[in-house]
A = this chain, B = another copy of it.
Amino acid sequence: MSRIRITISYDGSAFSGYQVQPNKRTVQLELEDALRKMHKGYDIKVTSSGRTDAGVHAIGQVCHFDSNLILPIEAWKKALNALLPDDIHVSNAEDVEDEFHARFSTTGKEYRYKILLSKDPNVFQRKYMYHYPYELDIKRMEEAANLLVGTHDYSSFCAANTDVKDKVRTIYSILISKKDNELTISFKGNGFLYNMVRILVGTLLEVGNGKIKVSEMKEIIEAKNRAKAGRTAPAQGLYLWEVFYS
Protein backbone atom coordinates (compact mmCIF):
# COMPACT_ATOMS: atom_id res chain seq x y z
CA MET A 1 0.00 0.00 0.00
CA SER A 2 1.43 3.39 -0.89
CA ARG A 3 0.15 6.89 -0.43
CA ILE A 4 -0.05 9.14 -3.49
CA ARG A 5 -0.33 12.91 -3.34
CA ILE A 6 -1.78 14.68 -6.39
CA THR A 7 -2.03 18.36 -7.26
CA ILE A 8 -5.05 19.19 -9.40
CA SER A 9 -6.59 22.17 -11.12
CA TYR A 10 -10.27 22.36 -11.97
CA ASP A 11 -12.71 24.67 -13.62
CA GLY A 12 -15.39 24.81 -10.91
CA SER A 13 -18.15 26.14 -13.14
CA ALA A 14 -19.75 22.80 -13.98
CA PHE A 15 -19.29 21.25 -10.51
CA SER A 16 -21.50 21.32 -7.42
CA GLY A 17 -18.31 21.91 -5.46
CA TYR A 18 -15.50 19.58 -4.47
CA GLN A 19 -17.15 17.24 -2.01
CA VAL A 20 -19.32 14.23 -2.89
CA GLN A 21 -23.07 14.90 -2.56
CA PRO A 22 -25.91 12.61 -3.64
CA ASN A 23 -26.86 13.00 -7.32
CA LYS A 24 -24.48 15.90 -7.92
CA ARG A 25 -21.45 16.20 -10.17
CA THR A 26 -18.52 16.96 -7.88
CA VAL A 27 -14.75 16.95 -8.26
CA GLN A 28 -14.31 14.22 -5.64
CA LEU A 29 -16.84 12.04 -7.46
CA GLU A 30 -14.91 12.34 -10.73
CA LEU A 31 -11.59 11.59 -9.02
CA GLU A 32 -13.01 8.54 -7.24
CA ASP A 33 -14.69 7.33 -10.46
CA ALA A 34 -11.35 7.53 -12.29
CA LEU A 35 -9.55 5.69 -9.48
CA ARG A 36 -12.25 3.01 -9.36
CA LYS A 37 -11.61 2.31 -13.05
CA MET A 38 -7.89 1.97 -12.33
CA HIS A 39 -8.58 -0.41 -9.39
CA LYS A 40 -10.90 -2.96 -11.05
CA GLY A 41 -14.02 -1.55 -9.44
CA TYR A 42 -12.68 -1.13 -5.92
CA ASP A 43 -13.51 2.12 -4.14
CA ILE A 44 -10.57 4.39 -3.38
CA LYS A 45 -11.30 7.26 -1.01
CA VAL A 46 -9.76 10.60 -1.96
CA THR A 47 -8.96 13.16 0.75
CA SER A 48 -8.45 16.80 -0.22
CA SER A 49 -6.92 19.77 1.61
CA GLY A 50 -10.50 20.98 2.04
CA ARG A 51 -13.69 21.38 0.07
CA THR A 52 -14.45 24.17 -2.38
CA ASP A 53 -17.96 25.42 -3.10
CA ALA A 54 -19.98 25.21 -6.31
CA GLY A 55 -18.45 27.42 -8.98
CA VAL A 56 -15.16 27.91 -7.12
CA HIS A 57 -12.02 27.04 -9.10
CA ALA A 58 -8.70 25.48 -8.14
CA ILE A 59 -5.22 25.93 -9.54
CA GLY A 60 -3.37 23.92 -6.88
CA GLN A 61 -5.79 21.76 -4.90
CA VAL A 62 -3.94 18.90 -3.15
CA CYS A 63 -5.40 15.44 -2.47
CA HIS A 64 -4.12 12.09 -1.31
CA PHE A 65 -5.24 8.48 -1.59
CA ASP A 66 -3.87 5.04 -0.82
CA SER A 67 -3.38 2.38 -3.44
CA ASN A 68 -1.93 -1.11 -3.75
CA LEU A 69 -1.36 -0.57 -7.47
CA ILE A 70 2.32 -0.72 -8.38
CA LEU A 71 2.92 2.01 -10.94
CA PRO A 72 5.86 4.26 -11.81
CA ILE A 73 4.95 7.64 -10.35
CA GLU A 74 4.85 9.37 -13.78
CA ALA A 75 2.19 6.87 -14.86
CA TRP A 76 -0.26 8.07 -12.21
CA LYS A 77 -0.54 11.53 -13.72
CA LYS A 78 -0.93 10.15 -17.23
CA ALA A 79 -3.48 7.47 -16.30
CA LEU A 80 -5.62 9.80 -14.21
CA ASN A 81 -5.64 12.53 -16.85
CA ALA A 82 -6.70 9.99 -19.48
CA LEU A 83 -9.69 9.00 -17.31
CA LEU A 84 -10.70 12.40 -15.91
CA PRO A 85 -13.05 14.83 -17.69
CA ASP A 86 -11.38 17.83 -19.30
CA ASP A 87 -12.40 20.27 -16.55
CA ILE A 88 -10.09 18.52 -14.05
CA HIS A 89 -6.36 18.16 -14.65
CA VAL A 90 -3.70 16.45 -12.56
CA SER A 91 -0.60 18.64 -12.76
CA ASN A 92 1.56 16.57 -10.42
CA ALA A 93 1.60 13.18 -8.69
CA GLU A 94 4.13 11.98 -6.14
CA ASP A 95 4.75 9.23 -3.63
CA VAL A 96 4.49 10.46 -0.06
CA GLU A 97 5.07 9.05 3.42
CA ASP A 98 2.07 7.41 5.09
CA GLU A 99 2.09 10.28 7.61
CA PHE A 100 1.21 12.82 4.91
CA HIS A 101 -2.42 13.92 5.08
CA ALA A 102 -3.79 16.37 2.48
CA ARG A 103 -6.01 18.05 5.07
CA PHE A 104 -4.27 17.71 8.43
CA SER A 105 -0.69 18.29 7.22
CA THR A 106 -1.42 21.71 5.66
CA THR A 107 0.40 24.69 7.12
CA GLY A 108 -1.59 27.20 5.11
CA LYS A 109 -3.32 28.12 1.88
CA GLU A 110 -3.42 30.83 -0.72
CA TYR A 111 -6.69 31.89 -2.30
CA ARG A 112 -6.99 34.44 -5.08
CA TYR A 113 -10.07 36.37 -6.07
CA LYS A 114 -10.33 37.88 -9.57
CA ILE A 115 -12.45 40.90 -10.40
CA LEU A 116 -13.08 42.40 -13.84
CA LEU A 117 -13.38 46.17 -13.52
CA SER A 118 -14.49 46.98 -17.07
CA LYS A 119 -17.76 48.77 -17.73
CA ASP A 120 -18.95 46.03 -20.12
CA PRO A 121 -18.91 42.38 -19.07
CA ASN A 122 -16.64 39.93 -20.90
CA VAL A 123 -18.46 36.84 -22.18
CA PHE A 124 -15.26 34.77 -21.96
CA GLN A 125 -14.62 35.64 -18.31
CA ARG A 126 -18.15 35.38 -16.95
CA LYS A 127 -17.44 32.09 -15.16
CA TYR A 128 -13.86 33.01 -14.21
CA MET A 129 -14.02 36.53 -12.76
CA TYR A 130 -16.52 38.67 -10.88
CA HIS A 131 -17.62 41.55 -13.09
CA TYR A 132 -17.68 44.74 -11.07
CA PRO A 133 -18.41 47.79 -13.28
CA TYR A 134 -18.26 50.46 -10.53
CA GLU A 135 -15.54 52.78 -9.25
CA LEU A 136 -13.21 51.45 -6.55
CA ASP A 137 -10.77 53.29 -4.32
CA ILE A 138 -8.00 50.71 -4.20
CA LYS A 139 -5.90 52.70 -1.70
CA ARG A 140 -8.72 52.52 0.83
CA MET A 141 -9.14 48.80 0.14
CA GLU A 142 -5.44 48.29 0.89
CA GLU A 143 -5.77 50.18 4.19
CA ALA A 144 -8.71 48.00 5.18
CA ALA A 145 -6.85 44.85 4.08
CA ASN A 146 -3.96 45.75 6.39
CA LEU A 147 -6.37 45.80 9.34
CA LEU A 148 -7.65 42.33 8.41
CA VAL A 149 -4.17 40.76 8.40
CA GLY A 150 -3.00 39.09 11.62
CA THR A 151 -4.52 36.69 14.14
CA HIS A 152 -8.19 37.42 14.79
CA ASP A 153 -11.48 35.76 15.57
CA TYR A 154 -13.01 35.99 12.10
CA SER A 155 -16.62 35.22 13.12
CA SER A 156 -17.79 38.34 11.28
CA PHE A 157 -16.38 36.81 8.06
CA CYS A 158 -17.78 33.31 8.41
CA ALA A 159 -21.04 32.02 6.91
CA ALA A 160 -23.60 31.57 9.71
CA ASN A 161 -24.25 27.89 8.86
CA THR A 162 -21.01 26.33 10.10
CA ASP A 163 -20.16 23.83 12.83
CA VAL A 164 -16.65 25.14 13.47
CA LYS A 165 -16.33 26.42 17.04
CA ASP A 166 -12.91 28.06 17.03
CA LYS A 167 -12.98 30.92 14.55
CA VAL A 168 -9.52 32.26 15.29
CA ARG A 169 -7.29 32.19 12.22
CA THR A 170 -4.14 33.93 11.05
CA ILE A 171 -4.03 35.81 7.75
CA TYR A 172 -0.38 36.22 6.79
CA SER A 173 -0.94 38.63 3.92
CA ILE A 174 -3.51 40.22 1.65
CA LEU A 175 -2.16 41.54 -1.62
CA ILE A 176 -4.21 43.64 -4.04
CA SER A 177 -2.84 43.96 -7.56
CA LYS A 178 -4.27 45.54 -10.67
CA LYS A 179 -3.24 44.75 -14.23
CA ASP A 180 -5.20 46.55 -16.93
CA ASN A 181 -8.80 46.13 -15.77
CA GLU A 182 -8.20 42.94 -13.79
CA LEU A 183 -8.04 43.24 -10.02
CA THR A 184 -6.63 40.26 -8.12
CA ILE A 185 -6.79 39.95 -4.34
CA SER A 186 -4.51 37.28 -2.89
CA PHE A 187 -5.03 35.92 0.64
CA LYS A 188 -2.46 33.77 2.43
CA GLY A 189 -3.31 32.33 5.82
CA ASN A 190 -3.04 29.30 8.07
CA GLY A 191 -6.66 28.41 7.35
CA PHE A 192 -9.92 29.94 6.22
CA LEU A 193 -13.46 29.57 7.57
CA TYR A 194 -16.49 28.71 5.46
CA ASN A 195 -17.03 31.49 2.87
CA MET A 196 -14.39 33.59 4.64
CA VAL A 197 -12.48 34.71 1.53
CA ARG A 198 -15.67 35.62 -0.32
CA ILE A 199 -16.95 37.65 2.67
CA LEU A 200 -13.57 39.37 3.03
CA VAL A 201 -13.70 40.28 -0.68
CA GLY A 202 -17.29 41.50 -0.41
CA THR A 203 -16.30 43.67 2.55
CA LEU A 204 -13.22 45.07 0.79
CA LEU A 205 -15.38 45.94 -2.23
CA GLU A 206 -17.76 47.87 0.04
CA VAL A 207 -14.75 49.72 1.44
CA GLY A 208 -13.66 50.42 -2.14
CA ASN A 209 -17.03 51.84 -3.16
CA GLY A 210 -17.37 53.90 0.03
CA LYS A 211 -20.23 52.00 1.67
CA ILE A 212 -17.94 50.91 4.53
CA LYS A 213 -15.31 53.27 6.00
CA VAL A 214 -11.78 52.07 6.78
CA SER A 215 -12.33 53.35 10.32
CA GLU A 216 -15.21 50.89 10.76
CA MET A 217 -13.06 47.81 10.10
CA LYS A 218 -11.91 47.35 13.70
CA GLU A 219 -15.53 47.45 14.89
CA ILE A 220 -16.61 44.93 12.22
CA ILE A 221 -13.90 42.46 13.27
CA GLU A 222 -14.62 42.91 16.98
CA ALA A 223 -18.37 42.48 16.56
CA LYS A 224 -17.88 38.78 15.74
CA ASN A 225 -21.17 39.11 13.89
CA ARG A 226 -21.61 38.09 10.26
CA ALA A 227 -24.26 40.78 9.74
CA LYS A 228 -21.68 43.54 10.28
CA ALA A 229 -19.42 42.59 7.35
CA GLY A 230 -20.08 43.07 3.63
CA ARG A 231 -21.88 40.77 1.24
CA THR A 232 -20.49 37.42 0.12
CA ALA A 233 -18.75 37.93 -3.22
CA PRO A 234 -19.86 35.43 -5.90
CA ALA A 235 -18.15 32.07 -6.32
CA GLN A 236 -16.85 32.44 -9.87
CA GLY A 237 -14.05 34.87 -8.94
CA LEU A 238 -12.50 32.55 -6.35
CA TYR A 239 -9.51 30.25 -6.90
CA LEU A 240 -7.85 27.90 -4.41
CA TRP A 241 -4.40 28.87 -5.63
CA GLU A 242 -1.93 26.89 -3.54
CA VAL A 243 -1.86 24.64 -0.48
CA PHE A 244 1.22 24.78 1.73
CA TYR A 245 2.85 21.89 3.60
CA SER A 246 5.93 22.06 5.78
Contacts and interface: CB of A to CB of B under 8 A. Distances in A.
A210 interface: no
Given A9-B123, A10-B123, A86-B121, 17 more contacts: A9-B122, A9-B124, A11-B123, A11-B124, A11-B126, A57-B124, A86-B123, A86-B126, A87-B123, A87-B126, A88-B123, A89-B120, A89-B121, A89-B122, A89-B123, A91-B120, A124-B128
Interface of A: 9-11, 57, 86-89, 91, 120-124, 126, 128
A219 to B, nearest CB: 37
A82 to B, nearest CB: 12
Contacts of A10: 123
Nearest to A13: B124
Nearest to A90: B120
Nearest to A89: B123
A6 to B, nearest CB: 13
A132 to B, nearest CB: 15
Contacts of A89: 120-123
A124 B58 CA distance: 10
4 closest A-B pairs by beta carbon, nearest first, are A11-B123, A89-B123, A9-B123, A86-B126
A126 B124 CA distance: 12
A10 to B, nearest CB: 6
Contacts of A128: 124
A122 B89 CA distance: 8
Contacts of A88: 123
Contacts of A11: 123-124, 126
A57 B126 CA distance: 14
Contacts of A122: 9, 89
